Homo-oligomer: A and B are copies of this chain.
Amino acid sequence: MSCISFEQFSFQAKEAVEKELEQIINDLQAPEILKKSMQYSLQAGGKRIRPLLTFSVLAALGVDWKKGTKVAAAVEMIHTYSLIHDDLPSMDDDDLRRGKPTNHKVYGEAIAILAGDALLTHSFKVLSTLDRNRWTDAQILELITGLSESSGAEGMVGGQVADLLGENKQLTIEELEFIHTHKTGKLLAYSVDAGCILGNASDELRQKLKTFSYHLGLAFQIRDDILDEEGDQERIGKPVGSDLSNKKSTYPQLLTLEGAKEKLNYHINASNQMIQDIPGDTTFLKTITDLIATRDH
């Protein structure tokens, strides 16, 4: 049994990671406009799913989840930089993100690019300077390798390239899946794996949680595509149907809306099945999976 409800946990977790992020940027000796631009996107709300995943794995492993706050902040910095760069005019050219003007709309393209670069760069220092009384050097190096792999050419950036190349093309389900497992899946999976690294999970457990992440990541994306088609613009913070107008392939488009919902259920069920195999208190992991299946923004 968890001693706190998921709502309490989620509230505390968001607060902890947002406070940490604010502090990390405040501590930088850097031009004010750069810090403001970094802070603007870091504090623009967001569901903080990646931190919640890391923390939930720690909770399942019986480790005080707050110990993972800096690591969660580093992942959130990577996620945030990727949103800033994805929104740029030469990429998705989005004016709104979570209902607010995108970074380049407020700070201009040059500063937005540099704020992204700075967030990306500094996330590695956040990891490399983790408390070495609490974590071993080997754990820290494993965290750094994983963050780089999941967010670089072989992960998120590679997925974004595949996404761009796929515009205005009729993709197969396999091609669409490549995009999503790379563009969003690998960093989500890293958030789970980071919890395993910090909590000294066994290889067997780590493998199970990897399979869990794979299904959860795809479920997350399919739900995103469904929301883009039938969601409420005010809730999701961007125009409904923007994928279609951006000429991107989506699950509903390839499988029909009904087919996409079936596929979503399949991956949610697979995630839940994996969780059942995991020892420890998996309440939070289960709740996150349910939230992803039913989220409305």
Q: Which A residues fall within an 8 A CB radius of B?
A: 28-31, 33-35, 38, 81, 85, 88, 90-91, 108-111, 113-114, 116-118, 120-122, 124-125, 127-129, 137-138, 140-141, 144-145, 147-149, 151-154, 157-158, 160-162, 164-165
Closest 3 CB pairs of A and B: A137-B137, A90-B109, A121-B152
Give chain A's interface secondary structure class: helix
Q: How far is the CA of A91 from the CA of B110 in the complex (A)?
A: 6
Determine whether the beta carbon of A153 is less than 8 Å from that of B109. no
Whether A118 touches B152, Cβ cut-off 8 Å, given contacts A113-B90, A113-B91, is yes
Determine whether the beta carbon of B113 is less than 8 Å from that of A153. no
Question: A144's closest neighbor in chain B, by CB?
Answer: B128
Determine whether the beta carbon of B110 is less than 8 Å from that of A153. no
Residues of chain B within 8 A (CB-CB) of A110 are 88, 90-91, 164
Whether A35 touches B153, Cβ cut-off 8 Å, given contacts A85-B113, A141-B137, A141-B141, is yes
Determine whether the beta carbon of A113 is less than 8 Å from that of B88. yes
Question: A125's closest neighbor in chain B, by CB?
Answer: B148
Whether A153 touches B88, Cβ cut-off 8 Å, given contacts A117-B120, A120-B121, A148-B122, is no
Residues of chain B within 8 A (CB-CB) of A28 are 153-154
Question: A149's closest neighbor in chain B, by CB?
Answer: B125
Residues of chain B within 8 A (CB-CB) of A157 are 30, 34, 114, 117-118, 121
Residues of chain B within 8 A (CB-CB) of A149 are 125
Residues of chain B within 8 A (CB-CB) of A129 are 145
Residues of chain B within 8 A (CB-CB) of A162 are 31
Q: Which has the most chain B C-beta neighbours within 10 Å: A116, A144, A157?
A: A157
Q: How far is the CA of A164 from the CA of B33 in the complex (A)?
A: 11
Residues of chain B within 8 A (CB-CB) of A90 are 108-110, 113
Q: Which has the most chain B C-beta neighbours within 10 Å: A114, A121, A147?
A: A121
Q: Could you pull out 22 A-B pairs where Cβ atoms are within 8 angstroms?
A: A28-B153, A28-B154, A29-B154, A30-B157, A31-B158, A34-B153, A34-B157, A90-B108, A90-B110, A90-B113, A91-B110, A114-B157, A117-B152, A118-B152, A118-B153, A124-B148, A128-B144, A128-B145, A128-B148, A137-B137, A140-B141, A141-B141
